[in-house]
Amino acid sequence: MMNRRTFLIATATALPAAGLLTQPVFAAQPPVFATDNIAINGYDPVAYFTEEMPVEGFAEFSSEWDGATVLFASAAHKEMFDADPEAYAPKYGGYCAYAVSKGYTASTDPNAWTVHEGRLYLNYSRSVRALWTARRSSHIRSADANWPSVLEG
């Protein structure tokens, strides 16, 4: 028969082992950060280069990119992207560049962006963009080393 003391001792030793069995399993992340399958929250990636600001795209000007839909502000921007997606697509699939540099993924804000050496980088927020910018070269090296393995979960 189990008394209270025996029950507490058995429970205390069993709980850590039970915790090991119930650890969550994370699925791999898709290669492009998208909300409702729309990349960059519906903003036009080409506009960061041509307009030097975030511009919302339209469903009538869209393309598929690595399984996500990208929207553009004009047919001309869609054509530019389609001709060379690598030149205009955000690095790290549009996930937060700072997060990728730290070994994980995070969502992005289209208003927290940087074009550096001809590449578009997005960040979680403007304050995170400030952290990214402070040591950008170092963060890019780390993010490049971490990408795409951070998608594995």
Q: What strands, in cross-sheet order, belong to the sheet with 38-39?
A: 34-35, 38-39, 68-72, 58-65
pLDDT band for 26, please (50, 70, 90 cuts).
low
Residue boundaries of the structural domains of the chain: 34-152
Paired strand residues for 56:
43
Tell me the angle at which helices 126-134 and 136-146 cross, rounded to the nearest 10 degrees: 100
Number of H helices, E strands in the chain: 7, 6
Q: Write down the pLDDT at residue 80.
A: 98
Query: What's the whole-number mean pLDDT along residues 77-94?
Result: 98
Q: Write down the pLDDT at residue 101.
A: 98
* 93-129 per-position pLDDT tens digit: 999 999 999 999 999 999 999 999 999 999 999 999 9
Q: Which of 11-15, 31-35, 124-128, 149-153 has the lowest mean pLDDT?
A: 11-15
Helix (H), strand (E) at residue 8? helix 4-21
Distance CA 78, CA 56 (A): 13
Give start and end residues of each alpha helix (H) in 23-135.
Answer: 47-50, 75-83, 85-88, 97-101, 126-134
- Is pTM beyond 0.85 here? no
Residue with tokens 């963009």: 129
Count of other CB atoms within 10 angstroms of residue 30: 15
pLDDT band for 27, please (50, 70, 90 cuts).
low
* 2-25 per-position pLDDT tens digit: 444 443 444 444 434 333 333 334
Geometric angle at alpha carbon 139, from 112 and 24, rounded to 5°: 85
The contacts of residue 23 (CB under 8 Å, 6+ apart) are none
* 36-67 per-position pLDDT tens digit: 999 999 999 999 999 999 999 999 999 999 99
CA-based nearest residue to 66, from 34, 35, 43: 34
